[in-house]
Structures are given as structure tokens and as C-alpha cells.
Structure 1
């Protein structure tokens, strides 16, 4: 079949893009034809073969007057409707699979597919449909927030969720009011995929459509046989080094307990990392170099303060036989079976955290490694994922 993948970024910007490209590669391996539509950008790894990608809007480069016009185009874009129609005139897909498209591309394009009777699947990568800021987190208060999930989108304006900006927050709220008011998310999306039950439960409060839970996947990245007896005695955090990820808060605790911690990644809190005998900052790492560091860790630790959907760090760790210590909320609780594939801890309870970290350190066994890898094979592998996604496509075409 012919599948059109739509995402605003067509380069490896983050987890959504990584997933989309991996899924597309897997679909091509099965003989399906895949093309992409999104924004123009110098970093794109996808060719704009019909010269109709959406224009990239960089707000920081615009004058005040230009921002007003650009703001309208981030909510409803007649230009993008014209561009996607032109694309479809050149190449008609059987299925459209949408990822991140709010702002920039805008939900205004959804009606185009409906008019052409093209079925649309959306993978829900974040909480955009229930949280105008799409992060379920207020950075001003440094706390999770679900006010808009069932309440008014005006909470986004009151709390100035977007960068503490009244203007940006108002735009975000207006977009939510518009497309929920017009019922776009129910009328023009035929099937939703949520990588976690946690996110499905939230989105279901405002969307009355089929939402199927299918966790993200990765390929096995290194030879498992070479890693079985090659575990070193360090905990590993990898990912964005920022406040909401919680890593900075636990550095002094692990140092006090004399537990080795390696940190891989980049972010605005890197300057807060104080290296010592037990704390090692390795900077950002990628590809096989990163996977080797993961594979040889005792545990991967993820003390995130904000809600996570289906953390790729867990999927990748399990694929390499590494158990994970995660926070006791959101997608962590679905992926980690406490005591079997890792441990769930309350990182906010400072009174018990030291004892808990020492406890899980002492409980590391080869069985944890084997069970983490088995969970990956049974639930998170490429084949498992692909079978379910293709089944959805086929069900919509019959």
C-alpha cells in the first residue's frame, strides 16, 4: 500500500521523528511505498520532490507585524491546505499517518484528506489535544499540570504556560478552542495510536474516537550474546539534561551513597553537573557509542518530574538487556514491572530515596537483565509493532 507520513519536522529532531523514520523503514522492508510531507528546512533528510513542503516559520526572526500574520498561519493555514492538495494531486496515498502537526502545519489540513476519502491514522506523541502547551507541565511552578485536560483551555492563558508569555499562551489556547469546537479530532481522524495507556486515558477525556495502545519500538541495536557478562557497576542517565527530567536533583544523593553515575546528553542544566569520583559527565553521545554505554550499565535511571508517554530510553535499554529505575508515574509504570524488569521509585520522597536506591542497587541480578530483554522481545520489538500498525491500515481500507 501507499503510506504518506506527515510530520512538521523531517529530520531527527526528537522521539517523534525517530519513530516515524524507523516505522517508515520497516514498512518499506515489507514492500509498502512511503512518502513524506512536512516543513521545509535545511536539516531535512527527505527530498521535497514536488516542491510543496510547508514554509518553516521561525518566530524569532520576524518583526512584530510579521508575527501577527505568522500567528494566524500557525492556527489555520490556507497556504498549507493548497500545498497538501497539490502533493495529493501528484501522489495519492492509501493511508495518511500523521504525527506532530499542530502549529506550523496546523490541523486545517485534516479536512483535505476527508474530502478525498483518504483514511487518517494519528500516532499521539504528546498531549497536544488536551494541553495547549502539550507538555502537561508548568515550568514557572516546576510542577506537572492537568488543568486543561477536563477544565477550560483558558488555564493556559491564566498560567502563561508558553514560556511565561501571555501572547504565546493565548495563541495556544485559541488553537485548542478552535479545533475542539469544530470537532476536527473526532471527524477527521479515523484511528489513533497511543504509545501508552496513560496518554490514551488523558486524550479520551476530550476525543471520542478509537485509540489503540501500541508502545514504541526499536531494533535490537547490539549483539546480545556479546553483552551478557559485560555489565559495569554504574548507573546511567541519558537524555535531556533539564529541570523537568529530575537528574540534577539526584546527583548529590548518588554521590553521597557512593554509587557511580554516568550522565549522557545535553541541555540547559549541564552547567549544574558537578563531576567527582562518582559522577561522570560524558556529554552527548549517539549511535553505537551511546548503545555500548547503555548496554554496559548496571541500570538506566530516569527520575523524570514531568509525565512521560512511552520513553524511548526505556525501550532502548530493554532491547539491550538493561533494567530501568523509573519514576512512579505516567508511562514508566506501564513499561517497568517493579522487581522484574527494573524498579519504580518515588523520587520526590527524600526521606526514603537514599534507602531505596541502596536497596535496588543490591537487588541487581542476571534475571533482571533477562526479564527486561524478554519484555522487549515480547512487547516492544519491531515485528510486534509493525504487525499491529499494518493491521490498523488494512482494517481502514476494507
Structure 2
């Protein structure tokens, strides 16, 4: 079986690319032939170095690195991306399945007709809400709360919800309109990474020809002895430091609970938080460094997203290591947290977070939570092997259905021709 995986970058610059890269390697190790197509120009991670893994670079510019007008036009419809992708696919052995992970930074909606016109099943993993929502996160940045509007409704078009400006909102609306038209040229197979976003997105995408599937993101943590979080000294936040992800909530709640806060990452809030007492910012670190820091320093990992986050890997990685988690009730990943047993699921508000953090001052409780987190995670592991096994099953079922469908259509045509006329 030959699978083509398409992503913006070939380095783990975000969760979507990390999943795309790891799944490409995992599928190759399972014996599938894999082609990884990289949209934007840039470096290539050594993870793609495998004899069953082919790498193709389209060499496209990152749309948002271009001047404003050309960036907007390319974001709505990037014709060169469609041309290069079409040429790349034509030069490959016939694929059994095409799997798209991201498309907003270099590819644009123009690639959807190319993928849907290839004559094989097209799978799209929904790491966000861009297929439905113009700003991609279904969040009102003007109100600092999740959105409750129907995407592309009159109220949606009027809402000043974009994180940057009304002009950016207009471009994103035009892009979403172009996307809906492009995606309507065929049938998509949508992979959801949590139950909550599946139910939410199915409602948003009514009218789009799509089948919905549910597969967990892979967690790149090797099984080992559980961490000793009771020895940790800080509440740890991992990721981009933004308001919608709740970085400021962690700082405020940790201070109220009398615990140090440790941030691994950077972002718009970094400068305003830097220098606060009891708060340490380490900047970005490699996945291996993050795991080492968590095992050495974390009493718990906090992910108090204000937005309806899909499947943040930091929560799963903490549970796999045996570290308690304090997760937002709005996050899809909270489905994996057992409140009071492996961590806490709370509202993304300072008071609720501070109360949860204060409880974590108890060493015996933290030890119990960490041990239970490790045991429960590994009883139903979300490791790369499980992820790739689920993907392989999906690809094969779609490929079989794709072979049967033409035969069924042919039989239906023959039956209609032989039926007596009215």
C-alpha cells in the first residue's frame, strides 16, 4: 500500500506537523510505502530518513512571510501550490490514499480539487477548526471566549472575532468560502482527534460530503518507570504562551496557590509574564528536553485552554510519564483525564485553577495521582504503534471501498440498461 502524506513543513513546528512526521515514519516501519510531501520550503527532520519513505518538497513560500496583499491573495487561492502538487502527484507511483494534515500556511484551498481529483480516498486530520471556522479556532478573541455562532452565518461575518484585525477576518472569510467550494468537489474522510470536536464539527459541516472517523493523536513517550511528581517543585506549562491557551491563568493561579510556575515555550505573553516572582520561562526545548524537565521539575502539567482545543499532546505526554494534569474542561484532551484520580478537569478561570493547584501541595496526593495517571495511560496506550495501526486499518478499508464502488456503479448502470422501460 502506498500512502501520500501532505503537510506544510517537514519539521515539528507545531502539533499538526509533529503528528504528520511521526505517523509517516511509523507507517513506513509497519511496511507501508509512504511519500511525505512538504508544502513550504524549509529544513527536513531526520525522522523521514527511512528506506520505505520518500520525501518530496514543493518549495512554496510561507504565505504569511509575503507582503500583505500577495499573502492575502495566496491565502485565499494559491494557484502555484495546486500546480506543483499536481505535478508532484503525477510523478509518483499511484497512491492508495492521500492524507492532508495542514494547508493554511503554504498550500491554500487550491490543493483540495487536486487531491479530490486524484481518484483515490482523501483523508484530512482536523487539528483545528479551519475547515469550518474562518479564524480556525472557533474562538472570539474580542470577547476571550469560545464562539457560539454558526460559521459563515451573517452574525459570524459581522463579528470582530479575529486575533489580528477586521481586514484579516475578511481574508479568512474569503478563504473559508473558497475552501467550502473547493472541498465540495468530492468526498472527504475527516479524522477527529477527540470526541468533543467530532460532535461539534459534524454540526458545523452539514452539507459537506464527508465521512467522519475518530483516531487519537500519537504520543511519543517511551514506556518507562513513572515519574516522581511529588518531588517536583513547579506547575509546568508547555507550549505557545497566549491568552487563548491560558498561559496567563497558569501564572495567576500558581501565584495564588503559592507554587512556582515553569513555562516551556514562548509567545505573545512571554514578555509581560517575565520577571514575575515565582515564575520561570525556559523558552522552547526539544521533545527529549521537555520530557527530562517534566520528570525533574513538574508536580503537574497545566493546560487551561480558553478555546475549544482539540487534542493538545502535552496532556497525553504528561499522563504517559506519570505526571498529574490540570486540564481545561473545554479541551478535547480532558477526555483522557480522570478528575480526582489522574488530575483535575476545571473551568479555565483563576479561582478554579488556584484551588486545584493548592491541592497539589500535598505530596502524598500528587504521588497517588501520578501513579494512577501512568497506570491508566499504559492500560490503553496512545503510542505511535496504536496510532499507525488505526490509520492502516482506515486506509485499507477506504481502499477496499474505493475498489468496490466502481464495480457497484457499473452493476447499477448495467441493471438500468436491462430494466424494462416505462
Distance in 1 of aligned mates of 2:293 and 2:84: 44
Which residue in the other structure is 1:53 paired with? 58
Distance in 2 of aligned mates of 1:18 and 1:236: 21
Q: Secondary structure at the match of 1:147?
A: coil
Distance in 2 of aligned mates of 1:302 and 1:71: 32
212-221 vs 14-23, which moves further: 212-221
- In the TM superposition, 1:272-311 aligns within 5 A as 272-273=272-273, 275=275, 278-296=278-296, 297-311=298-312
In the alignment, is the contact (CA less than 8 A) between 2:131 and 2:179 conserved in 1? no
**Are residues 80 and 238 of structure 1, via their aligned partners in 2, closer, same or farther at CA, if it must alter by over 3 Å?**
closer
Which residue in the other structure is 1:38 paired with? 38
24-33 vs 8-17, which moves further: 8-17
In the alignment, is the contact (CA less than 8 A) between 2:234 and 2:262 conserved in 1? yes
Which residue in the other structure is 1:201 paired with? 199
| One of 123, 138, 152 as aligned partner of 1:136 | 138
**Are residues 202 and 54 of structure 1, via their aligned partners in 2, closer, same or farther at CA, if it must alter by over 3 Å?**
farther
What are the superposed Cα offsets for residues 359-390 of structure 1, whole Å, 9 maximum, x if unpaired? 34437243422332233320412222222111
Which residue in the other structure is 1:112 paired with? 114
Which residue in the other structure is 1:165 paired with? 166
Distance in 1 of aligned mates of 2:323 and 2:43: 33
Distance in 1 of aligned mates of 2:327 and 2:18: 22
Which residue in the other structure is 1:12 paired with? 12
**Are residues 201 and 236 of structure 1, via their aligned partners in 2, closer, same or farther at CA, if it must alter by over 3 Å?**
same
| One of 74, 93, 96 as aligned partner of 1:94 | 96
Alignment length (residue pairs) = 387
Distance in 1 of aligned mates of 2:153 and 2:229: 54
In the alignment, is the contact (CA less than 8 A) between 1:266 and 1:284 conserved in 2? yes
Runs of 5+ unmatched residues, structure 2: 401-422
**Are residues 336 and 80 of structure 1, via their aligned partners in 2, closer, same or farther at CA, if it must alter by over 3 Å?**
same
RMSD value over aligned CA atoms?
2.8
**Deviation above 6 Å: which 4+ runs of structure 1?**
49-52
What are the superposed Cα offsets for residues 276-321 of structure 1, whole Å, 9 maximum, x if unpaired? 6633333332232211111232211122222211011111111211
**Are residues 11 and 382 of structure 1, via their aligned partners in 2, closer, same or farther at CA, if it must alter by over 3 Å?**
closer
70-79 vs 125-134, which moves further: 70-79
Distance in 2 of aligned mates of 1:24 and 1:50: 10
In the alignment, is the contact (CA less than 8 A) between 2:257 and 2:358 conserved in 1? yes
- Please report the TM-score for the alignment, with normalisation by the length of structure 1: 0.87
Distance in 1 of aligned mates of 2:313 and 2:55: 33
Distance in 2 of aligned mates of 1:355 and 1:313: 21
Give the drift of 1:274: 5.0
Which residue in the other structure is 2:372 paired with? 371
Give the drift of 1:83: 1.7
21-30 vs 282-291, which moves further: 282-291
**Are residues 372 and 231 of structure 1, via their aligned partners in 2, closer, same or farther at CA, if it must alter by over 3 Å?**
same
362-371 vs 49-58, which moves further: 49-58
Which residue in the other structure is 1:21 paired with? 21
In the alignment, is the contact (CA less than 8 A) between 1:131 and 1:153 conserved in 2? no
In the alignment, is the contact (CA less than 8 A) between 1:192 and 1:211 conserved in 2? yes
In the alignment, is the contact (CA less than 8 A) between 1:130 and 1:148 conserved in 2? no
Which residue in the other structure is 1:244 paired with? 244
In the alignment, is the contact (CA less than 8 A) between 2:191 and 2:212 conserved in 1? yes
| One of 364, 380, 383 as aligned partner of 2:382 | 380
**Are residues 349 and 292 of structure 1, via their aligned partners in 2, closer, same or farther at CA, if it must alter by over 3 Å?**
closer
Distance in 2 of aligned mates of 1:160 and 1:283: 29
Give the drift of 1:255: 2.5
Distance in 2 of aligned mates of 1:156 and 1:190: 25
Give the drift of 1:397: 1.0
Q: Secondary structure at the match of 2:19?
A: helix
In the alignment, is the contact (CA less than 8 A) between 1:38 and 1:53 conserved in 2? yes
In the alignment, is the contact (CA less than 8 A) between 2:26 and 2:388 conserved in 1? yes
Distance in 1 of aligned mates of 2:35 and 2:63: 25
Distance in 1 of aligned mates of 2:120 and 2:110: 15
129-138 vs 103-112, which moves further: 103-112
